[in-house]
Amino acid sequence: MSDEDRTSPTDRLASGAFLAVMTLARLLPYERRIPAVGWIFAHLLAPVAGWRRRIRENLALARPDISAQDVRRLTRAVPANAGRSVAEIYSGDEFTARIRAADPLEGPGLAALEQAFDAHRPVIIACAHFGNYDAMRAALSARGWPVGALYRPMNNEAFNRHYIPAITAIAEPLFPRGRAGLASMLRFLKGGGWLALGFDQHDRHAPELRFFDLPARTVLTPAELAIRYDALILPIHAIRQPDGVSFRVHVGKPLAHGDPQQMMQDLNDDLEALVRQHMDQWFWVHRRWK
């Protein structure tokens, strides 16, 4: 039986509907396409998917100090940023060409990245569901730097058939979660590769650290791999700019190797400070606190 035969009719329908929307969106010029898909996510997808409720719940936990007006704004702005990011991924060469032309990398850790590349030293890029994660990968790859990433395949196999080629076209290699992907990822890192690893989602097996002064189970993998392979480790985040389509890719200060829990707490603190500055750019839909 082929992969397509094993895909449920519901999954094929959802994937087909998504592709139809993206096909129509590509008829628009880039500067109109990106906000248009953002509007669809904010006003059509978010209410149906329950995202607005989840955003309100998370904000009530983490930012009970903000006004009801700001909460209403964020229930639309957060899905809009997600939609813009998806539209950018599916814009292919248009997206990556804009990143290459802008060369948006900046920040106190940029010199350390250049030194790591010259020394063929492995790098752990600590990243999050913030701004557009793929803008960060595109910016690093545009300099010829060997950036790889670990990803989780979608449950919808029909969706994977177009999603995985789309993210692979931005930068590669990509390593799927699982035994085979993990083995390839570690070989890549050991050989001097750069690996982007997310750390901002709940993991029930992880220790309890703090995020927004709340208990938040946080993976130690980025810190542990950095120590094991003597890799440079630092946070990098793509910050969407006020025009809605361009980015600054901020390279944070490298972390000193030490206690893995303290290293990851430092990354949580760094991300929290960034999210507080750009509340609409972090994906408040995740169940970060349980």
Q: What is the pLDDT along the chain (290 residues), one digit of tens a residue?
A: 444 556 788 888 888 989 999 999 999 999 999 999 999 999 999 999 999 999 999 999 999 999 999 999 999 999 999 999 999 999 999 999 999 999 999 999 999 999 999 999 999 999 999 999 999 999 999 999 999 998 888 788 888 899 899 999 999 899 988 888 889 999 999 999 999 999 999 999 999 999 999 999 999 999 999 999 999 999 999 999 999 999 999 999 999 999 999 999 999 999 999 999 999 999 999 999 98
Instruction: Round to whole Å and give the CA distance between 277 and 56.
Output: 18
pLDDT score for 6: 67
**Sign of the CA dihedral with 51 first, then 21, 40, and 197 last:** positive
For residue 174, give the H/E element and its range.
strand 174-176
Would you list the DSSP string of 182-231? Answer: HHHHHHHHHTT-EEEEE--S--TTS-EEEETTEEEE---HHHHHHHHTT-
**β-pairing verdict for 105-106 and 123-127:** unpaired
pLDDT score for 152: 81
| 239 contacts 114 by C-beta, under 8 angstroms | no
pLDDT score for 2: 45
Residue 288 makes CB contacts below 8 A (sequence gap 6+) with: 58, 200, 201, 202, 211, 216
Residue found under tokens 């980015």: 247
